[in-house]
Structure 1
């Protein structure tokens, strides 16, 4: 009985399917099914109820999980104690980053690699951390704005100051904007939150405006490019558009308004599923990102 197979059993439970566990571990789904089947044969019992639509633990599987989690926690603690006394940190960390953020994050990720040269980074662009984290098997992912009710752990990183922006060409074509109340008459480009709702009520200190979206998208990067393509007005985090404003590609609208406070988050799986390398990366990002932004 291999420890990796025991951890695979726990991973399947945490992620809810053989497919999600396969994606998380970068192994074929058939491999997961075979290894769980072999584990059941060794134990002489069925651990999962399997249907075409769902996967759930049997009574024996539930009892086995409870005892196994305790044993694996003790094993991981022992490994951690040894690893912390070693100068060598190695392993793969899978990170999901949002569009338009790679230039901001690269120096911090490279600094971690310089400190731990045996570590490998698997970096993927994502549109929605909550939707993409398990299917892509990510250890860590970045998210901005509202949180979705989930088993994923969220760590607050920075405050996101959103601002109203448009391209100079759009303003030339449609006219300047002098009052917040006139935005509902303009083409606006709105974000779709992870839960599916549309961010078409833009909140400011003491004043809100409901806009009629011309375009809706769950990608901040797409919204930014649409605004730069003169398609309308966006309400975007300042860190995403700071360079374009400085270069004159975008213009800040109604800068005297103060938007309500929102935050950027670092999402990761439950602590018991994280490797020591992932924990070190999380600590690094949580410490360093607030210094930069």
Structure 2
């Protein structure tokens, strides 16, 4: 019996299926099923009831799961104690980034690896960190906007306003609006939030404008690329548009207006046993990200 197998067992329980656990841990599904079977054989106990539609813990599995969580937490604390004595942080951290946001964050991650050369980073792009936190097995993620799930720890990083932008080709074809009211006659590209809400009421400081959404997506990278392709006016934070603005690929529309600021958060699961490597990255991001935003 190995610690890795116990970690795998708890991941299966938390995600509810072998497939989800395989995705989260970057393993073949067959590998997960085999290892859980071997664990049950070594314990001489059935941990799960398996059906074609559902996986649930047996009575033995429920009792074993509670004890294993305690064991894994103690194991992590013991490892952290030794590493602190050696002052040699090691491990791996999976970080979820908003699409197109890597430009502002990438050099902080390089700095982290220079500081801790024995910590590996696995960077994932995520449109919904609430889903991807478990499906991709993320240790932490950057999130902008409303908080939709109270089961995560949310650390506030900064507030970030957004601005109206379009490509020069769109302005050449449709003209530059001179008032907010004119936006209603323009083609606009809108974001759809993870809860399904379409953001077609653009809440600007002191004013709100209803726009016509000709194109919508829950993928902010898609929205940015559509704007670059001249498909319409969108509203983006500088974080996601800095290089495009510097190159002239996107230009300000009604520059006297800016949205109300969105909160930017660092999210991670509310669970015991967060690794020292993860905590070190959290500390650095909380220290350095506000400077970039």
CA distance, structure 2, for counterparts of residue 197 and residue 55 of structure 1: 32
Aligned to 1:219: 219
The Cα shift of 1:150 comes to: 6.2
TM-score of the pair, normalised by structure 2 = 0.90
2:285 maps to 1:252: no
Aligned to 1:229: 229
CA distance, structure 1, for counterparts of residue 231 and residue 217 of structure 2: 13
Aligned to 1:108: 108
Q: How is 1:62-101 mapped onto 2 (pairs within 5 angstroms)? A: 62-101=62-101
Q: Which ranges in structure 2 are unaligned for 5 or more consecutive residues?
A: none
CA distance, structure 2, for counterparts of residue 35 and residue 140 of structure 1: 26
SS at match of 1:216: strand
The Cα shift of 1:48 comes to: 1.9
The Cα shift of 1:66 comes to: 2.0
Q: Which ranges in structure 1 are unaligned for 5 or more consecutive residues?
A: none
CA distance, structure 2, for counterparts of residue 26 and residue 272 of structure 1: 22
CA distance, structure 2, for counterparts of residue 208 and residue 152 of structure 1: 31
The Cα shift of 1:236 comes to: 0.8
CA RMSD of aligned residues (A): 2.1
SS at match of 1:177: coil
Instruction: Go from structure 1 to structure 2 and tell me whether the alpha carbon gap of 1:235 and 1:78 turns closer, same or farther (over 3 Å shift).
Output: same
* Equivalent pair of 1:131/1:194 in contact (CA under 8 Å): no
Q: How is 1:172-183 mapped onto 2 (pairs within 5 angstroms)? A: 172-183=172-183
Give the total of aligned pairs: 293
2:240 maps to 1:240: yes
Q: How is 1:163-202 mapped onto 2 (pairs within 5 angstroms)? A: 163-202=163-202
With 264-273 and 28-37 compared, the bigger mean Cα shift is at 264-273
* Equivalent pair of 1:20/1:137 in contact (CA under 8 Å): no
| Structure 1 stretches of at least 4 aligned residues deviating more than 6 Å after TM superposition | none
Aligned to 1:266: 266
Aligned to 2:290: 290
SS at match of 2:279: helix
CA distance, structure 1, for counterparts of residue 156 and residue 16 of structure 2: 26
CA distance, structure 2, for counterparts of residue 193 and residue 53 of structure 1: 30
Aligned to 1:119: 119
Deviation digits for residues 64-111 of structure 1, max 9, x if unmatched?
Answer: 222222232222222222221222222222223233222221210110
Aligned to 1:281: 281
SS at match of 1:257: coil
Instruction: Go from structure 1 to structure 2 and tell me whether the alpha carbon gap of 1:150 and 1:47 turns closer, same or farther (over 3 Å shift).
Output: farther
Instruction: Go from structure 1 to structure 2 and tell me whether the alpha carbon gap of 1:16 and 1:287 turns closer, same or farther (over 3 Å shift).
Output: farther
The Cα shift of 1:190 comes to: 0.8
CA distance, structure 2, for counterparts of residue 232 and residue 96 of structure 1: 28
